[in-house]
Structure 1
Amino acid sequence: MESVHSTVFKESETLEGKCQKIQGYDFNKGVNYSQLLKSMVSIGFQASNLGDAIEVVNEMVFFFNGLVGDFQMKLWWKVVVKKREIRSLESTKCKIFLGFTSNLISFGVRDTVSYLVQHRMVEVVVTTAGGIEEDLIKCLAHTYKGDFNLDGAHLRSKGLNRIGNLLVPNDNYCKFEDWIIPIFDQMLEEQKTEVKTTLDPSKVIARLGKEINDESSYLYWVYKNGILVFCPGMIDGSLGDMLYFHSFRNLGLVIDIVQDIRAMNGEAVHANHRKTGMIILGGGLPKHQICNANMMRNGADYAVFINTAQEFDGSDSGAQPDEAVHCDATIAFPLLVAETFAQKCI
């Protein structure tokens, strides 16, 4: 019996001073949302992953432009102690890549993305075709809250489309077609009269941001602030449908994807002495493109992934760095921004 007891209760290796103690937020101290978010790192499970992600993004934000001030100095000393090294601000300036899938622009995360680009807090954006068109469509008509369990055939009979628990009337896409086709006509005429005969997708996106001229649009802000937006899958989704329809009424518009892959990879390769950071919401094309571009410089210095994908199928969507958060990005990303980027504007 003594042998069994000693086997079950094998003497423990001490973790004191080696690992962080698990402890949640004490609401007896009142409701302080900033402190609540800071406490995530010691709560455990996905809360701790979110806490780790907040720390990593705060380091990106601090080094983004060599920031100064009380908040940044506290973070700087934290970084020095944590890393056990002192680095010059110039050698650690960080270029931030933001990637997201289209569904997040369909949802209210669009407003969080718009906030980031409005205040020039990221330098490179990568998304899908839906991430472009949904932003523009929302400037023309509203998206509404529905339910995940609504019957598809019934919705179809009503001229309604379901995106998760969102509802988008068919009329929204008709308005999008009426708005964008004349712009494609203008682009085609410009191609015929100018020396350069092709358009890069990123230049098309910038043009759309200019034409929409709506401050609720993140594309408007990327155009106004000169932030690059790449969309390698531009022909997917409604945007591809519009290009398809346009080709029948006015053939000849040429969009050159090769120039954009050169520019996209160049944003990472030519970061020179700067570090790079990746914040990627969801998986698929945006995640792969950003990771692949940073692979050209032997990897990014910081990475935070927020998604619900799994690793078991070998897809890039589920591949994880240490700072991954398994959580719905509509929940995690606004909280992360509140405790990182938004602190810069307070």
Structure 2
Amino acid sequence: MDHRPLGTTGYDVTEVGLGTWQIGGDWGDVSDDDGRDAVRAALDAGVDFLDTADVYGDGRSERLIADVLDERDARGDVTVATKAGRRLDPHEADGYDHGHLEAFVDRSRENLGVDSLDLLQLHCPPWPVYYRPETFDALDALCDAGKVDAYGVSVETVEQAFKATEFDGVETVQLIFNPFRQRPAERFFEVARERDVGVIVRVPLASGLLTGNVDADADFPENDHRNFNRHGEAFDVGETFAGVPLDAGAEAVEALRPAVPDDATMAGFTLRWILSFDAVSTVIPGSTSPEHIESNVAAADLPAPSEETHATVRRVYEAHVKEHVHQRW
């Protein structure tokens, strides 16, 4: 698997990383052993970029990652990105100050067992944070103190991505991008290249929709966000099925199937389509299945989609999905 530079952080990371929301919580019941096995499977497949957050299982995801990195003696070989801010209650812009951020950073450092975080990302902060220079001054101070090596922002909207990169210290942006959420390619990727900002793509498989294995009648456990956040009851609805109504998403998947090569899965096709955009630094599908993780990594070696395939993906998006998501995010 090839590596790509992660903006100006100095890290070169694998094209496919691992998102670890699943091993923390909100995806049904996952044991600690299954969580560790998922991280092990990613490392065995060659992944050297792991993405987590302090609220994934209240730090559980960070701690399980630390367990495996210690077990494998892989500290110097793997880049770990975490996030901070969503522990605030209430989750308001004023809380994104030096005191709170330093406390969150110190807790993540302890969970991960490190002196300094490789990459800290603000975790989808409220809009006013993007107009608070003091927040980004605090991040600079944490870097100067040796507690954070680099920082970025995880965003919900393209407009937030633009605003975040106006701050010189922001070296990465994490956002949702997939065949059902195409707006970043239209508006943000060129700016990311111009500003040399690393792009981390989350929710690449639209919460399982783009695996081709979720239909409109699918049932999910009570503690799975695909059940309890279907309409944005708990957090931004864009994080669940990429914001696409399940019925419309299932129809779009069926329309997309003819474009998938015979030797590829729907998930592999989707991940390779995402990686065909050179502004993307890494894509972070999440899974607790070692088999799915291995298959996701193998997608990086698939042939790049043709112009005709790109046109087909665009037609499906415009016919089935665009009206639901394009101007919202």
State the TM-score, normalized to the length of structure 1.
Answer: 0.29
Q: Which has the higher helix share?
A: 1
**Pair member with larger Rg:** 1
